Structure 1
Amino acid sequence: MKGIAVRGIWAKIMLLLLTFVYMGCNTLKKVGDDELLLTKNTIYTDEKAVKDAEIKNLIVQKPNSNLLGYPLRLNLYNLAKEDPDSLFRDWLYKKDKREKRLANLISKKQINALSTSFFVKGWSELLKRIGEPPAIIDTAKTRKSTELLQAYYGSKGYFNNTVDYHIVSGKRKKKAEVEYKVDLGTPFMVDSLATNIVSKQLDSIYREHAELSVVKENQQFDLANFDNERKRLTNLFRNTGVYNFQESSVNFDVIRDTTQAAEDRNMDVILNVRKPRSANDTENTPSNYKIHRFKKINIYADYLFSEGTDSLQSIEFEDYTIFYKDKLRYKPKALTDAIFFKKDSIYRDIDYTRTNRQITNLNTFRYPNIEFIPDSTEARLVSNIYLSPRPKYSLGLNFDLTHSNIQQVGTALSTSVTSRNVFGGAETLNISARGSIGLLSDASLGDGDFTSEIGGDVNITFPRIWFPLNTEKVIPYYMLPQSRLSVGTNFQKNIGLDRQSFNTILSYNWQPTDLLKNTVELLNIEFVRNTDTKDFFRVYNNTYQRLNEIASDDFYQNNTQLDSLYNENGSLTIPDGANDFINAVLEEGVSQSLVDTRDVRSIRERRDRLTENNLIFTSSYTFIKNNKQGTNDLSFYQFRLKLESAGNLLSAVSNIIPYEKNSNNQSLIFGVPFSQYFKTELDYIKHWQTSSTDVLAFRSFFGIAIPYGNSNNIPFVRSYFAGGSNDNRAWNAYELGPGSTSNLNDFNEANLKLALNLEYRFPIVGDIKGALFADAGNIWNVFENQDNEEAIFTGFDSLKDIALGTGFGLRYDFTYFVFRVDTGFKTYNPAEEPTKRWFSDYNFRNAVFNVGINYPF
């Protein structure tokens, strides 16, 4: 019956494809007899095809968009009726008595409303709105494209280029391509570069940095180089004291001697830096550009635009004057550390930018208003910095609905209170509480049908590095340093064994540039306490079934010493029967084979590992480089490196003050063995914009955690898992691996992970997007007390266990977030027999459906 159902699904898919093919035959439905549908644009420069997307975008008229080669939006548009209300009237009056019979069923007024209803008219309007009209070749737009191409290549120095176009008819009637032919000619060159800078000070600055000029002698003319040189000089002058320099003051004279032969393509260039546009001397405008230094810097704390400044009090702190009302609520140093202007120093644009960023980073003030007043008699500046405070307190409230492979549906409510400027140094205190309740997908996962969680955190953020030693020289304030101290606790019910956790973090982060971010967690202390360990074999049902299979053998069933371990169904009781059976096999030697002993030992190790409490005392460093420029940048990369070390400080202390030991010779703190391991992660993401709307996204991840010293394995909460909506989408979370094992445990995890993801993203209709993806990867055990060879990474040979999932997804863009549904198929499953690994479960019945928010990478 399952085979019949699968065939039925594929029959429906084939019917849908045939419908699309039929629709594809109607792409010319709305193309007139004297019109041509544009199918392709091609640009040739000196007989070579152009592949540069920037140049292709100069073409004004483009072919209809397509979805994997199929013109979906065009065919949707073609399905719309041109005059649906007239067609309705024709149908209504086609038979004499049709209108009368219809009026007997509904009123005449309703008949009129029916002619403008969605089913008659609205449907066609919707198809036109989400569809796309046929791209009929328009020679006016084609000529406009030739003009743009000619102007573009002219800007590259090909002043004498010519552009023509040809319409090439396709194999089918009413279809054609347009070919643009560009004859470049000989490019013009910059022969000499002279300067005409009216200000001696600016001329001196220019010559100090002349080697960085973008425009050079013996260089092909390129208008982009002149634009970049204008921007470079503006940035240079505004960062060497010329606070009011205008980019419009920079221009170029390009001279060619017309008396020379026509073949001469050399040009002379003169760089001009002129006076400001307002060249007349006024009180606030000098006659020429000068280097300005700061005479006085005023900081207006708690400034309100509706109030004047006459009634304010002031204090002098170092080289700053701080104005305030009634009482100064901020430590002066907290304010001045955020200001990068110094008395008697020259003006620099970069200091202006850094001041804005650091004041915003304080999270105490709104975006600042910075004013510069030039002195009328000398090149001196007075800077007024107006700081408008944010509210002292703010309240946040969030409500979420969630779904996962563990929960059918979950609701979460969280609230937070934020207090700013807690100690007068622009510190931010955040106190948050959260609670959730969810309906379990499988009641066997917990004690009942519901899961619950409650927790809270106290966070305080300092806008500086909070450390006994002075770090300002190493991490200056323009790097936006922050320190964060966090204390939190969490109580989970019906997730695994019920868990309580306590966490304390002291971390620092700073940004040397816009591309780089560093984070150091000096201390991350986490204590995890499992509160319902007696339910291990009920919660982890797969592990119990493996143990029960061993215990169901006649050898054990007929052993009278073990009778008390079984229930009336012949299964081990939970928890006493299962635990006593393990002890009988491993401690009392009641076993019929070495295989049984090995398997039972593996089960005991997993039970002990997942039921023991954990004390995790780590330090870590994370480096992130991201060159994305704004939300509209579709071509970028991100690299993340994380190094983490656990237990070394506690281990060093144990050499001085010996700890209590357990039976496994592990050192204990408050009766709990502390974890000791080293962990490293490498994560690389790259996006390529393949067209104006399409993106190819790639991600690679490698992570390994190596236990040593006081640990034989990695704590469950710090191990790796595979599968899920952000990983390999053909498997549910925790189902894949380790290695070639087949869903060995209820929650499969390991200490080595490799993941590779490739996704092609494209628009479908309006805000609906599509994706095709391929996810590869797996997890393995390495350097742990694991004896299952199928789960252990032994070298390059283990790479054959990399699982491959492929599939497709739909996304809806809500602007602020993206809602997505992905369907993954097991393409290569390492858990199957070698001859059945490829496409054995490649069907919708075994597909995995993932729901997620935003893109997975």
Structure 2
Amino acid sequence: MKISKYISLIYIGSLLVNCSGTSKIPEGDFLYTGHKILIEKGTTAKSKVKKIESELNDLIRPIPNKSFLGFRPGIFFYNLAGEVKKDKGFKYWLKYKVGEAPVLMSAVNLDYNKDVVQNYIENRGFFNAATKADSISKGKKATATYEIKLQNQYKIKSIEYPKDSTVLSKEITLARKNSVLKIGKPYNLDVIKTERSRIDAKLKERGFYYFNEDYLLVQVDSTVAKHEVALILKIKKEIPAKAAIQYKINDVYVYPSFNLKRDTVANRKQDSIKLENFTVIDNNTVFKPIIFDKSLLFKKGELYNRTTHNLSLNRLITLGTFKFVNNEFKVNDRFKDQLDAYYYLTPLPKKSIQVEALAKTNTANYSGTELNINWSNRNTFKGAELLSISAFSGLEVQVSGQNNGFNVYRFGGEANLVWPRFISPVRMNSGSAYVPNTKATIGYEYQLRTKLYSLKTFNSSFGYSWKENERKEHNLNVVNIAYTSSNNVSDLYLSQIAASPSLQSIIDKQLIFGTNYSYTYTNTMLKNKKNNIYFKGSLDFSGNALSLLLGANDSSDPKTVFGVPFSQYTKAEFEFRHYYNFNSETKIASRIIVGAGLPYGNSNNLPFIKQFFIGGTSSIRAFRARSIGPGSFNGNAVTNSFLPDQSGDLKLEFSTELRTQIYSFVKGAVFVDAGNIWLRNKSVEKPGAEISSQFLNQLAVGTGVGLRFDFSFLVLRTDLAFPLRTPYETNGKNWVVDKIDFTDRSWRKENLIFNLAIGYPF
């Protein structure tokens, strides 16, 4: 027994040594474990010292191997793979994709890093600072140390701008109004570079097309006072003559069917259409001039402006019609202070067909596949209109849950026509870099829920979408029509209606005729921010116009269109997400959703497809899809055959999730979800479902952990969750924390919920 213990200890010790990464370090070398920065701050504030230390950490190279609790799994797998003779296969993948080579102390250039540190602190105004570099070794590991003595930081005493009478100097002096250089602030080379870039950007807005920020020189005089500097901004003496000229726009030429491989400007036939602000050179007359009238924002005789330049390019690109968009400016042959603009546009193939197979999940906890066939015409009426016609079919199944076996089969089609401009009797314009769209849609879907019923849905809409910028987007459907009817209703479903009459609303004929609008704001595309946010607000109105026309005001005697009562309601939903980024690998993501629907006039209830649901793979993950609520009502106790979708008029949902990278493409998460839905009024069928002042005491709460496998083209998500609190009472109370018992098989069966999904929940 003792011998086996010793053998086990020896094995564990050997494993620890291998995992630590030092077992195969060459003789005379060391495993580089990182660096330490020791700053003698002097009079420098503690917060500033911390910032300097943080920024220096990002500059020092090389980066040591990743470690976890003292272990370095990357080196372990690198060594485990041994010699690899091929550039593919399992051993290659294990060694170079999973594993990582040990970073050796011999690869650390202390003198180079010392110069990097010294240069950095001098550029922050510590002109008298001193830096020392050394290393400390222990066993087979070594650490680099950098000692810094900061001394005093120099501050800006005065700033001088060009004083001569040239147009260029005057424009530079005018640009000083919003300068980032401030008297009394510490000297900082990065701020000086930012100021040069800012002035250059301002000049580009004022016609100086050929100017470059490198033509600006900032002289630093450190003799003006003790620990202070004078900054003198100058234009370099030898700059190109073009750089000092303020240009205006002369002629604009557009080549809308230009072939990069075949064409040159010289060999193009000069069949042209001349308009007020531009000339279209297009011997095939493939595109109508209205495209360019809406996209090109330059006007003849105005100063060249970089913003207008970029807006025009972005609009041409976002048309979705051109594969390549190239642009150049040339000085006019007669007027040396004027520019001619040329746009060379290579169209995408006019017609295309695409077949795609998808794996998908939805909010009802169903997973499945879908086959799509899409045909598109990118220039339907020669105005860059996009006509797309698609057909689809799919199968959805519930991997786990009470609805397992009640599969969903879907097929249908949709036609969309998108105009890259506003189509409206009222003049509408957008000055952003994104082309506004007008969209008309008509579609049909047949959905069969096996053992239950089938639904047929016709929908059509007409509306607009436009973006103010990359962060703000608007969508307005002026007309939105949906008609739903059912057939093939099974005896099983009819028997459930007898017990739960509200299920009848799912198969009733429904007609929605209304308007909806949504606004989205996000800055999640900015990767280096500590805080990212996402907000989407939507409003949905239905039946108001028909109500005025038909005089509908009594839900007990509703007015009909073609024999179908139309829905009248107002619905609002708001979603806010916040992402706090600790670093590139770890963040806290939070989300809150608030929604409310109000039926009135011709309707007593919201249409089923417009009601709120909660629970499932992208909602409260500790509960089955759409199984929570409404209120304290327990739908699980009502039926044994299948779990009907519980719906409500009001919704409150909150989630927060800590996400971090575990290794390579594997990411982990710990999360907490909470929320519920409610009815506006009391329901005999669903006691406790109505909203009240005690709504916070009816929240469902769940927690869990998950893994995300990020394959770049696909994120596969697995979550394992369990409830902490039920909205209904269990054994006289809502909190069920004291019932948690992972060793109890029956508890696991009843409470552990496994979620398999594609993509992040939010």
- Give your verdict on TM over 0.5: yes
The 1:823/1:166 distance shift into structure 2, 3 A limit, reads farther
Counterpart Cα distance in 2 of 1:608 and 1:236: 65
Q: Which amino acid aligns with 1:499?
A: L
Matched, 1:154 2:154: no
Q: Counterpart in 2 of 1:855? A: 760
The 1:22/1:637 distance shift into structure 2, 3 A limit, reads farther
1:520 to 476, 479, 486: 476
- Give the C-alpha shift of residue 674 in structure 1: 2.1
1:712 and 1:785 in contact (8 A); partners too = no
1:729 to 611, 617, 621: 621
Q: Counterpart in 2 of 1:672? A: 564
Provide the secondary structure at the position in 2 that maps to 1:610. Answer: helix
Matched, 1:818 2:715: yes
1:387 to 340, 345, 356: 345
Q: Counterpart in 1 of 2:696? A: 799
1:739 and 1:778 in contact (8 A); partners too = no
Provide the secondary structure at the position in 1 that maps to 2:661. Answer: strand
Contiguous gaps of at least 5 residues in structure 2: 1-10, 637-642, 743-747
- Give the C-alpha shift of residue 347 in structure 1: 0.8
2:205 and 2:305 in contact (8 A); partners too = yes
Counterpart Cα distance in 1 of 2:370 and 2:680: 39
More off after superposition, 728-737 vs 405-414? 405-414
Q: How many residue pairs get matched?
A: 722
Q: Which amino acid aligns with 2:233?
A: L
- Give the C-alpha shift of residue 26 in structure 1: 5.8
2:370 and 2:392 in contact (8 A); partners too = yes
Counterpart Cα distance in 1 of 2:156 and 2:58: 28
Instruction: Write out aligned runs for 1:68-217 (5 A).
Output: 70-71=69-70, 74-75=72-73, 77-78=75-76, 126=94, 130-132=98-100, 140-141=108-109, 144-164=112-132, 181-196=147-162, 200-217=166-183
1:241 and 1:292 in contact (8 A); partners too = yes
Counterpart Cα distance in 2 of 1:300 and 1:272: 41
Q: Deviations over 1:609-634 (max 9, x none)?
A: 22322112232222222223467878
Matched, 1:270 2:221: no
Counterpart Cα distance in 2 of 1:215 and 1:405: 52
Counterpart Cα distance in 2 of 1:459 and 1:358: 21
- Give the C-alpha shift of residue 419 in structure 1: 0.9
2:433 and 2:469 in contact (8 A); partners too = no
More helix, by proportion: 1
More off after superposition, 833-842 vs 75-84? 75-84
Normalization by structure 1: what TM-score? 0.76
Provide the secondary structure at the position in 2 that maps to 1:337. Answer: helix
- Give the C-alpha shift of residue 449 in structure 1: 7.0
Q: Deviations over 1:247-281 (max 9, x none)?
A: 211221111228x6xxx01111111223674x3xx
1:359 and 1:367 in contact (8 A); partners too = no
- Give the C-alpha shift of residue 292 in structure 1: 0.9
More strand, by proportion: 2
Q: Deviations over 1:625-662 (max 9, x none)?
A: 2223467878532222222222222222233xx69x78
Counterpart Cα distance in 2 of 1:351 and 1:275: 30
Counterpart Cα distance in 2 of 1:136 and 1:244: 48
Matched, 1:30 2:22: yes
Q: Which amino acid aligns with 1:725?
A: T
Counterpart Cα distance in 2 of 1:407 and 1:214: 52
Q: Counterpart in 1 of 2:7? A: none
Counterpart Cα distance in 2 of 1:125 and 1:466: 55
- Give the C-alpha shift of residue 231 in structure 1: 1.2
Question: Rg larger in 1 or in 2?
Answer: 1
Q: Counterpart in 2 of 1:531? A: 487
Counterpart Cα distance in 1 of 2:188 and 2:546: 63
Provide the secondary structure at the position in 1 that maps to 2:223. Answer: coil
Counterpart Cα distance in 2 of 1:55 and 1:293: 45
1:677 and 1:708 in contact (8 A); partners too = yes
Q: Which amino acid aligns with 2:201?
A: N
Q: Counterpart in 1 of 2:276? A: 318
- Give the C-alpha shift of residue 177 in structure 1: 7.1
Counterpart Cα distance in 2 of 1:205 and 1:128: 55
The 1:807/1:169 distance shift into structure 2, 3 A limit, reads farther
- Give the C-alpha shift of residue 458 in structure 1: 0.9
Q: Counterpart in 1 of 2:6? A: none
Q: Counterpart in 1 of 2:546? A: 650
Provide the secondary structure at the position in 1 that maps to 2:274. Answer: strand
Q: Deviations over 1:701-760 (max 9, x none)?
A: 222222233323222211222222222222232123333443445212222222222223
Q: Which amino acid aligns with 1:70?
A: L
The 1:365/1:256 distance shift into structure 2, 3 A limit, reads same
Q: CA-atom RMSD, angstroms? A: 3.7
- Give the C-alpha shift of residue 468 in structure 1: 0.7
- Give the C-alpha shift of residue 187 in structure 1: 1.3
Counterpart Cα distance in 2 of 1:529 and 1:83: 61
- Give the C-alpha shift of residue 44 in structure 1: 4.8
Provide the secondary structure at the position in 2 that maps to 1:227. Answer: helix
Counterpart Cα distance in 2 of 1:677 and 1:235: 50
Normalization by structure 2: what TM-score? 0.85
Counterpart Cα distance in 1 of 2:92 and 2:332: 68
1:676 and 1:711 in contact (8 A); partners too = yes
Contiguous gaps of at least 5 residues in structure 1: 1-18, 86-114, 280-285, 540-573, 583-599
2:126 and 2:154 in contact (8 A); partners too = yes
The 1:168/1:742 distance shift into structure 2, 3 A limit, reads farther
Provide the secondary structure at the position in 2 that maps to 1:698. Answer: strand
Q: Which amino acid aligns with 2:739?
A: S
2:720 and 2:752 in contact (8 A); partners too = yes
Matched, 1:248 2:214: yes
Counterpart Cα distance in 1 of 2:321 and 2:528: 29
Matched, 1:776 2:668: no
Q: Counterpart in 1 of 2:648? A: 750
Q: Counterpart in 1 of 2:199? A: 233
